[in-house]
A and B are shown apart, each in its own frame.
Chain A
Amino acid sequence: MTDSTAPFIRLTGISKSFPGVRALDDVSLDIRAGEVHSLTGENGSGKSTLAKIVNGTHQPDAGTVEIDGVPTVITKPSTALALGIVSISQELTLAPTLSVAENIFIGRMPRTRWGTVDWDRCVREAQAILDDLRVHVNPRTAVRDLSLELQQEIEIARAISTNARLLILDEATSSLSEAATDRLLEIVEEQRDRGVGVLMISHRMPELYRSCSVASVLRDGRLMGTVPLPQTPEDALVRLMVGRDLDDYFGSRDVTPEAVALKVTDLHTLDGALLPTSFEVRRGEILGVAGLVGSGKAELGMALGGAIPSAGTIEVGGREAAITNPRQAVDSGIGYVPDDRKGQAILPNRSVAENFALAWRGTLSRLGVLRVREEATLVRDGMRRYGVVAANENVRISTLSGGNQQKVVLGRTFARGCTVFVLSEPTRGIDVGSKSQVYALLQEQVAAGAAVVLISSELPEILGLADRVLVFHRGGVHAEFDAEGLDEETVAAVAVSGRPQTAAA
């Protein structure tokens, strides 16, 4: 390729080690102004480390960084900011109690000539930035009153208002619905057209193919190649990422659904987030649940897991289960995995073993005294069985990758011996390799006779795994499909509009 523009930032031979792991090994990369450059690879491949070197959080052990052709040492995040390098990650960094305008100008509030905060200008300028991005919120609203998606847009508004020259999106879309992702990508493309360079870290294929012109693939800290998009086919890109073919990505099972394991009749929440919903799931069957964020699909999971109060009847294995709290869900044989791993599933400062042992809470004890040896054996067996990779079972779970944390969470739920599993976004924020392992575990459980309700925002996953698909829209089920031969457009049409596509019929 002959390059018409000189790169905004050029990384040459970047290496970086952390205790016991070589995170980056001789990585070289150019990012040009007006280009969306994708950085992709499995979790733990070094993507985030590279992003953090660019934004000044980490220092490389070796290698050079040039900005506009000038060798530069970015020693700290504020240096990067001054150079116009702004990162946005999935972790929001907004101050929830402050207003939108205050958040946009945090740390650099406009001043009057007396040195006090110029509130009028603050709100006026915030409004201008929001208008420019077509984000329709009142700049005086407190950020905590906004939806997660709007908050993400505020985060971007702040980034852009600093006259960014390089925007780093570190998995910024991973917690967004498709509609919100769409909006975000629109904004990104607009910034690109204005000459901003973008480094986009993502493993969502549709996003890469939509917005990026180049993809650099990392594996185990090494650069496997930089390829043009969208010319490079998806399977070639995946092969670069994982180093092997993913023939059997979603796996398969050979089982005919038998008796009804879960029967739900008129289940609803009192706040109207979930309208009366009825369905059945058989043993050996996966029921996919699709829908946008706020469509009620997450609430369905929470209601089945006892996390939120609900009304209606739930029958597990033919027996009616009164589920008013999580404990009753556990006791009646429903294994629920919530969508927010960090906030609702893991005990961050406890060991892998203790996290896993939540599976047997209460049952693996005699007169309240834990059967420690038995537990230790079961934990080690479980870690092996569910493929948890950790130095040992006593390390804190927060030191594990997202994929391994999720395997602990799923493993402990499976180990409970439930017949019904309600899994909400089971592969959110985990890499391709871990996803494939999670799918295999899931298939194994179903083959063994479990019934699974798979709630997911990722349509490929639903279509690849489920036997039937329910599509939620505004709190209720608007369509039910047989997964055989179903395509994404058909499901997406119902999810967005509540009605099946007319043209496709």
Chain B
Amino acid sequence: MTLLDSDPTLSAETPPADAAPARRRPRLSLGRFTGVVVALLAVCVYLALTQPVFLSWGNITNIVASNSVILLLALGATFVIIGGGFDLSSASALSATGMVLGLALQAGMPAWVAIASPILAGLVIGLVQGVLISYVKISMIVVTLGFMSILASFALIVNKGATISVYGAPGFDPVYQFVNGTVGPVPVLMIFDAVVLLAAAFVLRYTAFGRSLFAMGSNPEAARLNGINTAMMVLFVFLIAGLAAGLAGLVSVGRLTGAAAASDPTLLMTAIAAVLIGGTAFTGGEGGVLGTMIGVLFLGVIQNGMTLSEIPAFWQGTVNGAILILAVGIGVLRDRGIRLRRRAITTRVG
């Protein structure tokens, strides 16, 4: 089993209850992702044929770079959703941490302080939310909805609603190098994304924390009765979400060469859509970051394709929404289809 392999329980298609153990079906290597991956490839083939520029290295790195912010937010959301929760504040947290970085750079702080500042801010945001949810015991929807509003407002307040341009700020060069630099032909950001993705996959699959997270998302009471400290787990999950938002803030400022005061409301929806398209269940306890990566890529490629094909950006929301419903719907139909097909087989044999 490779590190990035899908969640085994998602793809294990096995006969129900006490059936003959002899009939073990070979596993589809892509499991539940098959539909999305096939669709992604189909779109890529179509774009490759109609838009020659699509397959160029420049365009590919552009897709990766322009979707890094979404990827980071979506990875944070994957942890939260697997744990059985949700976080409405992530896009606002991104704006807030971006503004923190912007202020730090504007104030002429050294690069390492500036780079640390959004990450630290993200962790603080996660910590406060986690404590309110786990220990003050305010409901998750209330806390994250409240923070969505507060953090968006914070981003506007700190610079009176104006974007902070950091171009030419003394500490900005390392940030810029990080976001736009390359190692040979490979963008630093692409390497960074891969490392974060691998780390997240490792944590989910091979650590006690990851295992406990799935357990909590699947059945919080069972997790608790087996000695998992669920309050602490929720706190950790929000620290991870905060960290993800901080990193996203860093990347965002690097790409825009400025910190935008107004938060983009579509970011949250796109990130969550990517998580769900990637097969993570909204009900918690199943899913993974490989799926999330595929979800992000899928939405990213579609957007790229639309830009290349000169389709007005207004259509983006329609397309994203339709893809979300289709992807999750096809997953449902596919599960049902397998059941129907197997029934047909057994009827013939029996």
Contact = CB atoms under 8 A, between A and B. Distances in A.
Interface string A395-423: 11001110010000000000000000000
A357 B205 CA distance: 13
A331 interface: yes
Nearest 4 interchain pairs by C-beta: A20-B15, A20-B19, A19-B342, A347-B218
Given A361-B211, A395-B14, A20 B20 contact: yes
A50 to B, nearest CB: 15
Interface of B: 8-9, 12, 14-21, 23-24, 206-209, 211-212, 214-215, 218-219, 221-229, 281, 283, 285-286, 339, 342-343, 345-347, 350
A350 B23 CA distance: 21
Contacts of B227: 326-327, 329-331, 361-362
Contacts of B214: 347, 350, 354
A70 interface: no
Interface stretch (A85-93, A146-154, A189-197, A365-373): A365-373
Interface in A420-458: none
Contacts of A18: 15-16, 19, 343, 346
B9 A391 contact: no
Interface size class of A (residues with CB under 8 A): 35 or more
Contacts of B222: 344-347, 358
B225 A338 contact: yes
Contacts of A343: 219, 221
A327 B229 contact: yes
Contact of B207 (A349, A369, A395): A369
A336 B221 CA distance: 13
27 contacts: A17-B343, A18-B16, A18-B346, A20-B16, A20-B20, A21-B19, A22-B346, A325-B224, A325-B229, A326-B225, A329-B227, A343-B219, A344-B222, A346-B222, A347-B219, A348-B285, A349-B9, A349-B285, A351-B8, A354-B215, A361-B226, A369-B206, A394-B8, A395-B14, A396-B9, A399-B14, A400-B18
A61 B339 CA distance: 15
Given A365-B207, A390-B21, A347 B12 contact: no
A392 interface: yes
Given A18-B19, A369-B207, 4 more contacts: A329-B227, A361-B211, A361-B227, A392-B24
Nearest to A347: B218
A44 interface: yes
A22 B9 CA distance: 24
B285 A350 contact: yes
Contact of B225 (A331, A345, A369, A400): A345
Nearest to A343: B221
Contact of B19 (A19, A306, A329, A365): A19
Given A20-B19, A370-B207, A404-B18, A349 B24 contact: no
Nearest to A375: B211
A305 interface: yes
Contacts of A391: 14-15, 19-21, 23-24
A396 B12 CA distance: 8
Given A358-B215, A361-B226, A369-B207, A347 B23 contact: no
Contacts of B21: 389-392
A234 to B, nearest CB: 26
A382 B14 CA distance: 21
Interface of A: 17-22, 44, 61, 305-307, 325-327, 329-331, 336, 338, 343-351, 354, 357-358, 361-362, 365, 368-370, 372, 389-392, 394-396, 399-401, 404
A280 B3 CA distance: 49
A335 to B, nearest CB: 10
A307 B225 contact: yes
A338 to B, nearest CB: 6
B24 to A, nearest CB: 6
Nearest to B16: A399
Contacts of B228: 327, 361
Nearest to B1: A372
A325 B227 CA distance: 8
Contacts of B285: 347-350
Contacts of B225: 305-307, 326, 336, 338, 344-345
Given A344-B222, A358-B226, A17 B12 contact: no
A22 to B, nearest CB: 5
A340 B211 CA distance: 22
Contact of B286 (A306, A329, A349, A395): A349
A394 B9 contact: yes
Contact of A21 (B15, B224, B281): B15
A330 B209 CA distance: 18
Given A17-B347, A391-B24, A394-B9, A347 B18 contact: no
Nearest to B283: A349
B311 to A, nearest CB: 38
Contacts of A325: 224, 229
Contacts of A404: 17-18
Contacts of A331: 227
A331 to B, nearest CB: 7
A20 B283 CA distance: 28
Contacts of A22: 346, 350
A401 B206 contact: no
A394 B346 contact: no
Contacts of A390: 18, 21
Contacts of A372: 206
B218 A362 contact: no
Nearest to A413: B226
Contacts of A348: 218-219, 285
Contacts of B209: 368
B16 A351 contact: no
